[in-house]
């Protein structure tokens, strides 16, 4: 049998496939972070908490209101996005004039509060969310059996990433957004409602995190801590891709998922630090990140 | 006010505060609870553990030797340095007389070092690592609820008897996971089984799929999960999703009632696990279960039951020797038999391990479960000696002497 690093080839292919699944989550989460940072300049530390709230919204919807998975994909991001808009309106808005670190502290506080509230409501061990019946079962790829649900995650994530990139880089709305971040006063003078635009952008970024949460709910335990362990990795992904770069976030999300997958076969103990090692190397070599522009 | 004078005033206030704490402590019994209040093990003991300690103190009468009983608590966040430094701080400033808790073996080992240095009894409850009464034992450490040796003896031997001879382990990559894997490996080898491989997954890993593919590729019959809390539920959930539970038999080397509840019976049915306590064993356990439920709205885990028992044992010992002197209390604890709703035929061995009856359980199917929290059926009752061996751990330096 063909081997790579002493590991059989089918095993490597299997791990790459799983890496791609994880990479899809990273891409989706880092995309939201990159949108918020790129357009608002806010380091949104509450991103993991919104991801967790998205998963819990799906769970609560199913357990208490009989909302199925497919509706949850739409409603949970909407609900959590609205919460994001409220937070932007009431709190975050007042911090645009001061240093970014205040925004970071505020969102970090929000994350801690959200985690604490969910822990006291649902406990630290969390809840289990079933895989929707349409997506149960597995696909035999020859080298592994891939659960259909995981294949769906890749498809959904790549589609959402593509659509978001298109919206921001290739549409009129996107060009206004980018203009508003370059020079808010000037754009406002042209009669565009910049505060509204910014508010909706934050809401959309938060909704992306919640969508990732709903996608993750059937594969991981829905627990209050599910976001906090992920958000640090996702930040590293965004830094590697280049803070605020949308293609950077998507590409580095997928690639780092793959690298992490390989690490899990070759040296499992290092699998939770490999992303940070890469981050350190990238920062030394290209301080603005792989896709970032030097300022 | 200038900056300097502010600091002076602040310093004076802090000094006063510390002084008042120290003087207040002299006529008090101070019980410290250092545990994971917010992390992966928070449901196993956590905040509810503090409720239980207070419940036990109230049942005891609220005072001992005419002294008030105070409870201090802190979240160690699964960090050994926080656990150890809080222990030291309370010992130096708050007149600490006993420490309970310490879920997470790594943290408990750090705390037992402080217990030895400060000569203050430490009853480790949440942690599993058998080294707490082995290589890391101290004259002031008691390991109360269960240990990795008992878990290995219970679960691994039950599965081997059913024909599960070849094993693959997914192990939490820290002291607890590796000790648990070692304990289970010993049992597997002693019964003619084989270990085909193991992976060490970092604590708090959410995606276990790649480790599970490795497990499947090994061709082993049994998937040994040497982890706990959300690590356990995430790995079991992924094993179901990838259809690995169809070809391999999963073994929960440590699962608490709250873990089974979180994973749901649909996922966890048929699992073997070992526990020192289950709320639905007899009238006494059910009575405690109901009291706990009324307060916390879920049934107690083994650790939450153990912390009640340990608090009462300690207060009884203080009452019996008429002082909080650590050496006298430890001697009294070590010669007292423990028989209550938590422990049957319990006693504290020379190395500090509380040996007591343990149960091998099988998780019910959703159809077998008749009422809320009806999760386990008893497969085997193990005497304390069957679970942990009759002799103290020879790696404990205290025992050799």
* pLDDT digit string (tens) for chain A, length 295 residues: 566 666 677 778 888 888 888 899 999 999 888 888 887 888 899 999 999 999 999 999 998 999 999 999 999 999 999 999 999 999 988 888 888 889 899 999 999 999 989 988 888 878 888 888 888 878 887 777 788 898 899 999 999 999 988 988 889 888 888 888 778 788 888 888 888 888 988 999 999 999 999 999 998 889 898 888 788 889 899 899 888 788 888 899 999 999 988 888 888 888 888 999 999 999 998 888 888 776 5
Residues of B in contact with A116 (CB under 8 A): 38
For residue B37, the chain A residue with the least C-alpha distance is A124
pLDDT score at A134: 85
How many angstroms away from the CA of B377 is the closest CA of chain A? Answer: 22
Percentage of chain B beyond pLDDT 90 is 73
The edge-to-edge listing of strands for the beta sheet with B222-226 is B194-201, B166-172, B222-226, B249-252
- Per-residue pLDDT for B25 more than 80? no
Q: Which residues, 6+ apart, have CB-to-CB distance to A188 below 8 Å?
A: A180, A194
Residue A91 three-state SS: coil
A198 CB within 8 Å of a chain B CB:
no
The CA distance from B383 to B369, in Å, is 27
Do residues B232 and B177 lie in contact, with contact meaning Cβ atoms separated by under 8 Å?
A: no
Residues of B in contact with A21 (CB under 8 A): 207, 209
For residue A16, the chain B residue with the least C-alpha distance is B210
- Per-residue pLDDT for B288 more than 90? yes
For residue B239, the chain A residue with the least C-alpha distance is A219
B247 CB within 8 Å of a chain A CB:
no
How many angstroms away from the CA of B259 is the closest CA of chain A? Answer: 6
pLDDT score at A7: 67
The CA distance from A73 to A132, in Å, is 12
pLDDT score at A110: 94
Count other C-beta atoms under 10 Å from residue A295's C-beta. Answer: 5
The CA distance from B322 to A258, in Å, is 64
- Per-residue pLDDT for B19 more than 90? no
How many angstroms away from the CA of A78 is the closest CA of chain B? Answer: 25
How many angstroms away from the CA of A65 is the closest CA of chain B? Answer: 19
Asked if A219 and B241 come within 8 Å (Cβ–Cβ), the reply is yes
What is the three-state SS of A181-242? HHCHHHHHHCCCCHHHHHHHHHHHHHHHHHHHHHHHCCCCCECCCHHHHHHHHHHHHHHHHC
Residue A4 three-state SS: strand
- The number of CA neighbours under 13 Å toward the Cβ of A258 is 11
How many angstroms away from the CA of B289 is the closest CA of chain A? Answer: 18
The CA distance from A136 to A42, in Å, is 39
How many angstroms away from the CA of B209 is the closest CA of chain A? Answer: 7
pLDDT score at B376: 96
Taking phi over 0 as left and psi of -120 to 50 as alpha, with beta for the rest, B13 belongs to alpha
Tell me the pTM. 0.82
- Section B40-63 average pLDDT: 92
Residues of A in contact with B43 (CB under 8 A): 123-125
A56 CB within 8 Å of a chain B CB:
no
Asked if A264 and B204 come within 8 Å (Cβ–Cβ), the reply is no
A263 CB within 8 Å of a chain B CB:
no
pLDDT score at B5: 55
Residues of A in contact with B39 (CB under 8 A): 124, 225
B254 CB within 8 Å of a chain A CB:
no
B51 CB within 8 Å of a chain A CB:
no
How many angstroms away from the CA of A153 is the closest CA of chain B? Answer: 14
Do residues B154 and B360 lie in contact, with contact meaning Cβ atoms separated by under 8 Å?
A: yes
Q: Which of A124, A145, A264 is the closest to B243 by Cβ?
A: A145
B219 CB within 8 Å of a chain A CB:
no
Asked if A125 and B243 come within 8 Å (Cβ–Cβ), the reply is no
Q: Which of A11, A149, A220 is the closest to B234 by Cβ?
A: A220
Count other C-beta atoms under 10 Å from residue B19's C-beta. Answer: 11
The DSSP letter of residue B194 is E
pLDDT score at B102: 80
Q: Which residues, 6+ apart, have CB-to-CB distance to B92 below 8 Å?
A: none
Spell out a b/e string for B164-194, using b for 16 or more CB atoms within 10 Å of the CB, else e. Answer: bebbbbbbbbbbbbbbbbbbbbebbeeeebe
- Per-residue pLDDT for B65 more than 80? yes
The CA distance from B45 to B36, in Å, is 7
A220 CB within 8 Å of a chain B CB:
yes
How many angstroms away from the CA of B233 is the closest CA of chain A? Answer: 7
The CA distance from B184 to B295, in Å, is 36
- Per-residue pLDDT for B18 more than 50? no
Mean pLDDT of chain B: 89
Residues of A in contact with B246 (CB under 8 A): none
Residues of B in contact with A268 (CB under 8 A): 173, 199-201, 211
* Structure ipTM: 0.78
How many angstroms away from the CA of B200 is the closest CA of chain A? Answer: 6
B375 CB within 8 Å of a chain A CB:
no
- Residue B139 has φ and ψ, to the nearest 5°, of -65, -15
Q: Which residues, 6+ apart, have CB-to-CB distance to B173 below 8 Å?
A: A268, A269, B200, B201, B202, B203
Under 8 Å CB pairs connecting chains A and B tally to: 109
pLDDT in tens, B297-351: 999 999 999 999 999 999 999 999 999 999 999 999 999 999 999 998 999 999 9
Is the Cα dihedral A62, B290, B380, B394 positive or negative? positive
Residues of B in contact with A219 (CB under 8 A): 207, 237-238, 241
* Contacts with B, A 80-139, CB within 8 Å: 115-116, 119, 123-128, 130-131, 138
pLDDT score at B354: 95
pLDDT in tens, A12-48: 888 888 888 889 999 999 988 888 888 788 889 999 9
Count other C-beta atoms under 10 Å from residue A279's C-beta. Answer: 21
Q: Which of B201, B229, B262 is the closest to A128 by Cβ?
A: B262
Residue A138 three-state SS: strand
Record the tokens describing residue B167, joined without a space: 């094993």
A147 CB within 8 Å of a chain B CB:
yes
Asked if A219 and B237 come within 8 Å (Cβ–Cβ), the reply is yes
- Section B166-192 average pLDDT: 93
- Residue B378 has φ and ψ, to the nearest 5°, of -75, 125
- The number of CA neighbours under 13 Å toward the Cβ of A106 is 19
How many angstroms away from the CA of A284 is the closest CA of chain B? Answer: 27
pLDDT score at B17: 47
Residues in a beta bridge with B272: B362
Consecutive H or E run containing B222: strand B222-226
pLDDT score at B6: 52
Q: Which of A115, A126, A147 is the closest to B230 by Cβ?
A: A126
pLDDT score at B16: 47
Q: Which of A149, A261, A272 is the closest to B202 by Cβ?
A: A272
Give the residue carrying structure tokens 């635009």. Answer: A197
B79 CB within 8 Å of a chain A CB:
no
A15 CB within 8 Å of a chain B CB:
yes
The CA distance from A193 to A190, in Å, is 9
């Amino acid at each position: 049998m063909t081997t790579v690093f002493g590991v059989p080839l089918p095993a490597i292919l299997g791990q790459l496939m799983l890496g791609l699944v994880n990479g899809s989550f990273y891409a989706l989460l880092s995309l939201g972070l990159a949108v918020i940072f790129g357009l608002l300049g806010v380091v949104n530390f509450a991103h993991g908490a919104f991801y967790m709230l998205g998963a819990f919204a799906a769970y609560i919807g199913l357990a208490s209101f009989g909302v199925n998975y497919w509706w949850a994909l739409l409603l949970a991001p909407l609900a959590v996005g609205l919460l994001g808009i409220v937070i932007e309106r009431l709190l975050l808005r007042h911090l645009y004039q001061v240093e970014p670190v205040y925004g970071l502290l505020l969102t970090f506080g929000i994350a801690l509060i959200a985690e604490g509230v969910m822990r006291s409501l649902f406990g630290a061990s969390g809840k289990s969310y079933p895989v929707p019946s349409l997506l149960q079962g597995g696909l035999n790829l020859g080298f592994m059996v891939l659960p259909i649900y995981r294949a769906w995650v890749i498809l959904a994530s790549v589609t959402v990433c593509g659509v978001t990139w298109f919206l921001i880089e290739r549409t009129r709305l996107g060009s206004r957004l980018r203009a508003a971040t370059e020079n808010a006063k000037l754009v406002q003078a042209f009669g565009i409602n910049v505060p509204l635009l910014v508010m909706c952008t934050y809401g959309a970024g938060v909704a992306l995190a919640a969508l990732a949460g709903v996608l993750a709910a059937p594969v991981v335990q829905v627990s209050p801590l599910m976001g906090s362990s992920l958000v640090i990795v996702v930040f590293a992904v965004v830094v590697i891709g280049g803070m605020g770069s949308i293609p950077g976030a998507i590409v580095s999300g997928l690639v780092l998922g793959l690298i992490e997958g390989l690490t899990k076969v070759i040296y499992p103990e290092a699998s939770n630090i490999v992303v940070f090692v890469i981050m350190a190397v990238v920062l030394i070599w290209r301080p603005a990140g792989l896709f970032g522009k030097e300022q | 006010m200038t900056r300097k004078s502010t600091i002076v005033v602040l310093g004076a206030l802090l000094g006063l505060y510390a002084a008042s704490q120290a003087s207040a402590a002299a006529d008090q019994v101070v019980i410290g609870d250092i545990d994971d209040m917010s992390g992966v093990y928070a449901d196993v003991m956590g905040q509810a553990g503090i409720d239980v300690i207070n419940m036990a103190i109230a049942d005891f009468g609220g005072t001992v030797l005419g002294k008030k009983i105070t409870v201090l608590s802190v979240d160690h966040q699964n960090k050994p340095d926080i656990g150890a430094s809080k222990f030291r701080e309370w010992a130096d400033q708050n007149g600490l007389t006993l420490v309970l808790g310490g879920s997470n073996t790594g943290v408990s080992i750090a705390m037992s070092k402080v217990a030895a240095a400060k000569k203050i009894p430490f009853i480790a409850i949440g942690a599993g690592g058998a080294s707490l009464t082995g290589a890391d034992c101290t004259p002031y450490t008691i390991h109360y609820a269960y240990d990795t040796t008992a878990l290995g003896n219970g679960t691994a031997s039950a599965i081997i008897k059913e024909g599960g001879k070849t094993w693959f382990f997914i192990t939490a990559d820290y002291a607890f996971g590796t000790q648990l894997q070692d304990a289970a490996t010993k049992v597997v080898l002693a019964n003619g089984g084989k270990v085909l491989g193991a992976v060490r997954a970092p604590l708090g890993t959410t995606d276990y799929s790649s480790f599970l593919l490795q497990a499947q590729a090994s061709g082993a019959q049994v998937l040994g999960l040497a982890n706990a809390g959300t690590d356990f539920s995430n790995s079991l959930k992924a094993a179901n999703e990838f259809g690995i539970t169809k070809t391999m038999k999963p073994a929960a080397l440590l699962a608490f009632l709250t873990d089974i509840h979180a994973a749901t019976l649909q996922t966890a049915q048929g699992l073997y696990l070992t526990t020192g306590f289950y709320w639905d064993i007899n009238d006494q356990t059910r009575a405690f279960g109901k009291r706990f439920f009324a307060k916390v709205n879920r049934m107690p885990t083994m650790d939450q039951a153990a912390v009640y028992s340990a608090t009462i044992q300690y207060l009884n010992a203080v009452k019996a020797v008429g002082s909080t002197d650590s050496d006298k209390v430890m001697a009294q604890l070590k010669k007292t038999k423990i028989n209550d709703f938590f422990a049957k035929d319990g006693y504290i061995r020379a190395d500090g391990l509380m040996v007591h009856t343990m149960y091998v359980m099988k998780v019910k199917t959703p159809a077998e479960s008749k009422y809320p929290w009806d999760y386990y059926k008893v497969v085997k009752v193990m005497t304390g000696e069957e679970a942990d061996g009759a002799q103290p751990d020879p790696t404990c330096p205290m025992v050799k002497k």
